[in-house]
Structures are given as C-alpha cells and as structure tokens.
C-alpha cells in the first residue's frame, strides 16, 4: 500500500501513461500498480495497437504486476488509474483481490458503477485524485477526434 509518497505523485505517473496512450491514438487511460511504495507495473490502453478490446490499461497492469510478484493475487497493492474502470476491468480487479484502487476521473456512462459492476468487498476505492487533469485528457482527446 502507499504511505510515504502521495496519491497525487503516483497519479501523475498514471497520467503520463495516459498521455503516452494518446500519442499512439489510444483512448488516454493510464494505470500503475504500486506495492510497498514501489511501482511494480505501469501501462496504458493498447486496444488499437493490439486489435484487442480487452487490452485496457488496468488489464495490462494487472498482468504485469502478477508477473512481477509471481502471484495471481494483488493483495497489498494499489492501482492508480486515470479513469474509473469499466465493468470488465472491475471484474478483473475483483478477481485480483487488489487492496486499493485510486481513480482520477469518474466515468458516469461506462464506469463499473454505472453498469452495475462491483469491486471486491475488501478493496478500498478512492475517487477524484487529480480529477481535473484526468478529465481534461479525455475531453481534449475526444475533441481532437471530432474535428
């Protein structure tokens, strides 16, 4: 879990991942996973590059963290993600038993809560960390797509 470095510090790294996604033409979502104040996984959306609808930032980060830990559960880990996870990612996070999720922007239309998804009951979740910056990434990305 995180305790020395701030949630804002780690979310900024997730934002950098989201910016990397945008540069590749991907929807700008970035995710990192932290254990013992160390980043053990970081990723961003890769759905376009991999031609894979499941290649969301969270799924990529979960796989990378599990490989790093050589374990299927992510207990005592925190996910920092720039956008509220979708229902698919919430399901994967549920099964990973991750201890904490920190979200930047909420997704009122496609987020797991809007679609009736659930997070593991032992997982804590925090919303709104660098929310404005995370929301602006999405707004700017889609504004450019529409012009």
Instruction: Assess whether 58 carries a catalytic annotation.
Output: yes
DSSP string, 37-81: TEEEEEEE--HHHHT-TT--HHHHHHHHHHHHHTSS--TTEEEEE
CB of 64 closer than 8 Å to CB of 43: yes
- How big is the CA angle at 127 (ends 111 and 16), to the nearest 5 degrees? 85
Q: What is the C-alpha to C-alpha distance for residues 75 and 124, in angstroms, rounded to an integer?
A: 12
Is 103 part of any known ligand binding site? no
Is 77 part of any known ligand binding site? no
CB of 123 closer than 8 Å to CB of 93: yes
Is 89 part of any known ligand binding site? yes
Catalytic residue among 17, 26, 58, 84: 58
List active site positions.
Answer: 58
Residue set of the binding site for Zn(2+): 56, 86, 89
């Amino acid at each position: 879990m995180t305790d020395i470095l701030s949630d804002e510090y780690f979310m900024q790294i997730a934002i950098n991942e989201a910016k990397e996604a945008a540069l590749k033409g991907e929807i700008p979502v970035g995710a990192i996973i932290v254990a013992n104040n160390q980043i053990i996984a970081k990723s961003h959306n890769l759905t376009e590059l991999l031609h894979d609808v499941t290649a969301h930032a969270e799924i990529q980060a979960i796989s990378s963290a599990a490989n790093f830990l050589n374990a299927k559960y992510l207990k005592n880990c925190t996910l920092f993600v720039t956008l509220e996870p979708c229902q698919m990612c919430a399901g994967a996070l549920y099964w990973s038993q991750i201890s904490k999720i920190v979200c930047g922007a909420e997704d009122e239309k496609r987020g797991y809560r809007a679609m009736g998804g659930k997070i593991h009951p032992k997982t804590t979740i925090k919303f709104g960390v660098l929310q404005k910056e995370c929301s602006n990434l999405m707004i700017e990305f889609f504004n450019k797509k529409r012009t």
